[in-house]
Amino acid sequence: MLQFDARRKLAEFEWQGRLELQPGVTALYGQSGAGKTSLVNMIAGLLTPDEGEIAIGGTCVFASRKGVNLPPEQRPVGVVFQDGRLFPHLTVRGNLQYGRRRGKGSAPALEELVELLELESLLDRRPMSLSGGEQQRVAIGRALRTAPDVLLLDEPLAGLDGERRGEVLGFLERLKQDRDRVIVYVTHRMEEVVRLADRLVLIDRGVVQSAGGLQDLLGRPELQALTGQRTAGALLSCRIEQADDGDGLSRLSCAGHSLFLARLGLPPGADVVLQVRAGDVSLSLERPRRSSVLNVMRGTVERVVQEDSALADVVVNVGQTLWARVTRRSVRELALAPGVEVYATIKAASLYSAN
Amino acid sequence: MTPVWEIAALSLKVSLWAVACSLPAGIACAWVLARCRFPGKILLDGLVHLPLVTPPVVVGYLLLIVLGRNGWLGRLLYDWLGLTFTFTWRGAAVAAAVMAFPLMVRAIRLGIESVDRRLEEAARTLGATPARSLFTVTLPLAAPGLLTGALLAFARCLGEFGATITFVSNVPGQTRTLPLAIYTLLQTPEGETAAAWLAGVSLALAIVALAASEMAARAVRKRLS
């Protein structure tokens, strides 16, 4: 576990966030300049807070009051930097072997890492000759080799193009299997959060705005400005019931509802997270009949949040949280208010899997 | 007159020892100037550069005061280690090292400053102490600067005249290096031909040193990219 409670004056604002992170992947999300990298540097020991405390697994690594400030090499923390920072004068093998074990766990054997990250063919090459994605894979391996109790990934995909990003994301997903380690994944891309993280911490100008389970936070319209929900949408946990119902559609179950969408190519029983944009959800008071819309979910209005002069976001509990962006006129004409029963409809064509 | 090769050998010996012994101090100074911030840094910077702007004769005189048999440091070194500097090749090496020091530090400092500090940070997060980070990351990456610094210093040592003649005089076989030998010959009637020979040797040494440094720098750069 990582406990962080420290302040530090930065150029434009003061970091004053408090965090308590459990093992598993926590995404640290915020716009650029929100203070994410400063937080990473403070945990790693590269930036000294003005005051406060930082503890890792119960061991204090920084405490201004007690005068404790362990240097980076004595903290059980591994870092994968945005720019890789491989040593250009060493081969890939030399880079992987550079680290010294510091965490409680045993260091993975070189062969193990090479297999996990598929580095076999790169071992004798120098970092300059590697592609961006390959460099980041080596950087991940190099950090893992120190068996860190806390692994900090500071926008490891930021410098990569779309294809490479996908490639490295695949490798990062393999890290999720390690359940004992606190993994902090810093990013400002929601699709990476959705794919990797169990929990989400939203940061804005050095302050922790919200922290909690991924789906919980993403379903809250008031955090929309921070999460950039307009593009990401609410998330629904579903299970595949039928891979192909004969019309090229997959049938999924979600909180007691059946949902259909274009064939996913996954077997029955597989877990899927669907991304549903607020703008793709419409509401009606009666079950729609003779409609082209396949997906209808009955639920209860929980809240209505005014978006601007014309639009509003309606939070609907359908067993899970869904939200719909509708006009204020519709809110008025349908008398949408907390407690009202509604039918939420989503076109199959606008549903897609987030993972 | 001593044979040409003996004079050249003495010059090489004095310069090599001067560079070899001052290199650790040069690296330390360069690192402190490049990476540390402390009050009085400007003083250290000035002190390091002093031989560059002071007349060499003055430097030689100061060395005489400090390291001469009756100088405070010279006396200590003689009593403890039996080291004598006056009128010996060791003294010539000290004079050369002091005069070449600013050039050496400047080049090494540039080399260290060109190393990305973020790589040093990365080394620390991988468990390296500051010392390990210095020796395994900073210095290997600053190798081109180190090489240039050592070579510039070596060339400067070969040409050292003023501080040497003031500090350790002009003793054949001990302190009469190439420049001093050329000077002496030019003072003697009919010494000009021999002086021309020695000047030629000086030039040849300088060219060989330059070529060697260029080749080494190329090899190092190739290794790094």
| pLDDT 10s digits, A79-115 | 999 988 999 999 999 999 998 888 777 788 888 889 8
**Cα A129 to Cα B153: distance, rounded to the nearest angstrom:** 35
Residue of A38, A61, A79, A89 to mutate, interface with B, max B Cβ within 10 Å: A89
- The residue assigned the tokens 């049938």 is A251
Binary contact (A146, B224; C-beta < 8 A): no
Residues 20-79 (A) with a CB less than 8 A from some CB of B:
44-46, 71-73, 77-79
> Domain A2-218 is in which class?
alpha beta
| pLDDT 10s digits, A327-351 | 999 999 999 999 999 999 998 888 8
> Which residues does chain A have within 8 Å of residue B139's beta carbon, measured at their own beta carbons?
none
CA A240 to chain centre: 23
Q: Is the pLDDT of residue B91 over 80?
A: yes
**Cα A15 to Cα A18: distance, rounded to the nearest angstrom:** 9
Residue of B114, B126, B133 to mutate, interface with A, max A Cβ within 10 Å: B126
How much is the pLDDT for A232?
A: 45
CA A273 to chain centre: 13
How much is the pLDDT for A355?
A: 60
Q: Spell out the residues 6+ positions from residue A116 whose beta carbon is closer than 8 angstroms to its own.
A: A108, A141, A171, A174
Report the length, in residues, of chain B. Answer: 225
Distance from CA of A107 to the nearest CA of B (A): 12
**Cα A76 to Cα A1: distance, rounded to the nearest angstrom:** 12
Number of domains in chain B: 1
Q: Spell out the residues 6+ positions from residue A324 whose beta carbon is closer than 8 angstroms to its own.
A: A278, A281, A282, A283, A313, A314, A316, A344
A335 to A36, A328, A342: CA distances (angstroms): 42, 10, 11
> Which residues does chain A have within 8 Å of residue B141's beta carbon, measured at their own beta carbons?
87-89
Distance from CA of B177 to the nearest CA of A (A): 39
3-class DSSP assignment, residue B187: helix
Distance from CA of B136 to the nearest CA of A (A): 9
The parts of chain A modelled with pLDDT lower than 50 are 231-232
Amino acid at A86: L
**Cα A337 to Cα A234: distance, rounded to the nearest angstrom:** 20
- Start-end of CATH 3.40.50.300 domains in chain A: 2-218
| CB proximity A164 to B under 8 Å | no
Binary contact (A77, B125; C-beta < 8 A): yes
> Which residues does chain A have within 8 Å of residue B130's beta carbon, measured at their own beta carbons?
71
- Reading the block at residue B92, the tokens are 């010539």
Rg value, chain B, Cα: 20
Q: Is the pLDDT of residue B104 over 80?
A: yes
Binary contact (A72, B125; C-beta < 8 A): yes
3-class DSSP assignment, residue A148: coil
Chain A with chain B: Cβ pairs closer than 8 A: 60
Binary contact (A72, B141; C-beta < 8 A): no
Residue B210 belongs to domain with CATH number = 1.10.3720.10
**Cα A139 to Cα A95: distance, rounded to the nearest angstrom:** 8
Q: Which H helix or E strand runs over A68? A: strand A68-69
Q: Which H helix or E strand runs over A281? A: strand A281-284
Model ipTM over 0.85: no
Task: State the virtual CA torsion across B143, A91, B32, B214 in degrees, nearest 10.
Answer: 10
Smallest CA–CA distance from B141 into chain A, residue: A89
| CB proximity A83 to B under 8 Å | yes
How much is the pLDDT for A231?
A: 47
> Which residues does chain B have within 8 Å of residue A45's beta carbon, measured at their own beta carbons?
124-125
Smallest CA–CA distance from A80 into chain B, residue: B122
**Cα A301 to Cα A337: distance, rounded to the nearest angstrom:** 6
Q: Is the pLDDT of residue B23 over 70?
A: yes
Q: Which H helix or E strand runs over A230? A: helix A229-232
- Reading the block at residue B214, the tokens are 């260029």
Region class of A339: left (phi > 0), else alpha (psi between -120 and 50), else beta: left
Closest CA to A222 of A235, A210, A204: A210
Q: Which fold has domain A234-353?
A: OB fold (Dihydrolipoamide Acetyltransferase, E2P) (2.40.50)
- Start-end of CATH 2.40.50.100 domains in chain A: 234-353
What range defines the domain where residue B12 resides? 4-224
